[in-house]
């Protein structure tokens, strides 16, 4: 009996200690959360800057864990990016430092360049800095070993065409993107090759090609929608409307943009001297042009809703998946009319989970 009493007493003491410890821990966590809530966005920015700066002092080899360091830094950036209240107060000034660490530790982390291009180019207005990071990745990637590597050339072309106004450089980037896409081991990626080559040719003939600008801004819109960047999405929408695009909703309530078909040129009428006065020339036959599919290259995160470009008659490729959002335009029956777009821009390989090196 005495032994049982000691056992019960010991059990009671342990239970009491555990209860007190649990209550104490809960109170400490609550106080810590209150302290964190009391920190201003400016103080959070300073603390985050110290974290990012400390990573730069790690050995260049990262003790063999550079991929892990890049992953961890990217997750920190996602949290930083998603804090809307703090970003409204302080902006995205730390983004270049985040991506400098990520791309140095793992330049083959393809998915991160979608976020770096969107943040540096459209949030901070630094397309040159975005291009420098993209060039770092291009130098480390092999189009035959890394599916989706051509995406970096596409993002580079967006910066050059839409923000820097350098159509010639953008044409070259589209050409290189097409060559890389053609070498991809992924058959889905290879479908982008003729699209990018056509974009390159369009810009060579017409540096202000509306069709290319429309497709590029529409892709930016889809990227921003998929990554949750409302500010960039709003800007892309405004740029599309400035190009003359018409905004509408499809049957599922998704936003779509379309370009009106250019007006056909009037057919020449015979001169009075050659025309038979007894014969009235028939009116020019008006036909409604059928939309010709010119898909936009793949460029949206895998984490975004399933999207697909429409069937490209040039390659006779089947749709990939359910489009969100879609782009649909009509084309005039005139032979001089530019081709129209019917597609959904997507950006593949943007899952921020695990980078492939």
Reference 146, options 108, 120, 102, 112; nearest CA is: 108
Instruction: Work out the average pLDDT over 306-325.
Output: 40
**Count of residues in the chain:** 357
Per-residue pLDDT at 138: 97
Phi-psi region of 148 (alpha: psi -120 to 50; beta: other; left: phi over 0): left
Instruction: Work out the average pLDDT over 4-12.
Output: 59
Per-residue pLDDT at 174: 97
Question: 257: which strand partners?
Answer: 247, 327
Beta carbons of 175 and 190 less than 8 angstroms apart: no
Tell me the C-alpha distance between 326 and 290, whole Å. 17
pLDDT category at 252 given cuts 50, 70, 90 is confident
Q: Could you tell me which residue, 40 or 302, shows the higher pLDDT? A: 40
Per-residue pLDDT at 324: 38
Instruction: Work out the average pLDDT over 259-277.
Output: 64
Question: H or E stretch including 342?
Answer: strand 342-343
pLDDT category at 283 given cuts 50, 70, 90 is very low
Per-residue pLDDT at 254: 85
pLDDT category at 306 given cuts 50, 70, 90 is very low
Residue 17: pLDDT over 70: no
Residue 33: pLDDT over 90: no
Phi, psi of 84, deg, nearest 5: -65, -40
3-state secondary structure of 257: strand
Instruction: Work out the average pLDDT over 324-349.
Output: 40
Tell me the C-alpha distance between 249 and 112, whole Å. 31
Instruction: Work out the average pLDDT over 3-12.
Output: 59
Per-residue pLDDT at 325: 40
3-state secondary structure of 246: strand
Tell me the C-alpha distance between 302 and 351, whole Å. 6
Residue 259: pLDDT over 60: yes
Tell me the C-alpha distance between 152 and 163, whole Å. 16
pLDDT category at 133 given cuts 50, 70, 90 is very high
Q: Could you tell me which residue, 294 or 23, shows the higher pLDDT? A: 23
Phi-psi region of 253 (alpha: psi -120 to 50; beta: other; left: phi over 0): left
Tell me the C-alpha distance between 87 and 52, whole Å. 17
Tell me the C-alpha distance between 350 and 124, whole Å. 21
Give the other-Cβ count within 10 Å of 144's Cβ.
11
Mean pLDDT: which of 45-49, 57-61, 234-238, 315-319 is highest?
A: 234-238
pLDDT category at 305 given cuts 50, 70, 90 is very low
Rg, C-alpha atoms of the chain: 28
End-to-end CA distance of the chain: 67
Instruction: Work out the average pLDDT over 68-96.
Output: 91
**Helices and strands (H and E) in the chain: how many:** 13, 4
**Residue whose token pair is 């040039």:** 314
């Amino acid at each position: 009996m005495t032994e049982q009493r000691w056992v019960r007493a010991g059990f009671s003491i342990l239970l009491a200690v555990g209860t007190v410890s649990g209550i104490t821990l809960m109170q400490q966590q609550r106080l810590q959360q209150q302290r964190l809530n009391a920190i201003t966005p400016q103080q959070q920015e300073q603390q985050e800057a110290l974290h990012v700066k400390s990573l730069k002092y790690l050995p260049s080899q990262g003790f063999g864990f550079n991929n892990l360091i890049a992953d961890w830094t990217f997750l920190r950036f996602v949290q930083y990016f998603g804090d809307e209240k703090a970003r409204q107060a302080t902006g995205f000034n730390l983004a270049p430092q985040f991506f400098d660490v990520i791309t140095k530790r793992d330049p083959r982390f393809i998915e991160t360049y979608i976020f770096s291009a969107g943040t540096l180019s459209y949030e901070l207005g630094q397309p040159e800095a975005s291009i420098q990071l993209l060039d770092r990745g291009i130098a480390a990637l092999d189009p035959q070993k890394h599916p989706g590597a051509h995406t970096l050339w596409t993002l580079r072309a967006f910066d050059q065409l839409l923000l820097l106004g350098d159509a010639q450089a953008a044409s070259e980037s589209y050409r290189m993107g097409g060559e890389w896409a053609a070498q991809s081991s992924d058959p889905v990626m290879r479908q982008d090759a003729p699209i990018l080559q056509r974009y390159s040719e369009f810009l060579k003939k017409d540096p202000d090609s509306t069709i290319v600008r429309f497709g590029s801004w529409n892709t930016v819109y889809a990227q921003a929608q998929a990554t949750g960047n409302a500010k960039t999405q709003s800007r892309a929408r405004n740029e599309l409307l400035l190009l003359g695009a018409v905004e509408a909703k499809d049957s599922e309530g998704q936003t779509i943009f379309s370009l009106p078909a250019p007006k056909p040129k009037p057919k020449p009428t015979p001169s009075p001297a050659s025309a038979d006065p007894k014969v009235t020339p028939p009116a020019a036959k008006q036909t409604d042009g059928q939309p010709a599919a010119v898909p936009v290259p793949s460029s949206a995160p895998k984490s975004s809703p399933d999207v697909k470009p429409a069937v490209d008659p040039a390659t006779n490729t089947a749709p990939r998946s359910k489009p969100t959002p879609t782009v649909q335009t009509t084309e005039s029956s005139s032979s001089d009319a530019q081709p129209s777009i019917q597609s959904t821009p997507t950006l593949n390989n943007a899952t921020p989970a695990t980078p492939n090196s």
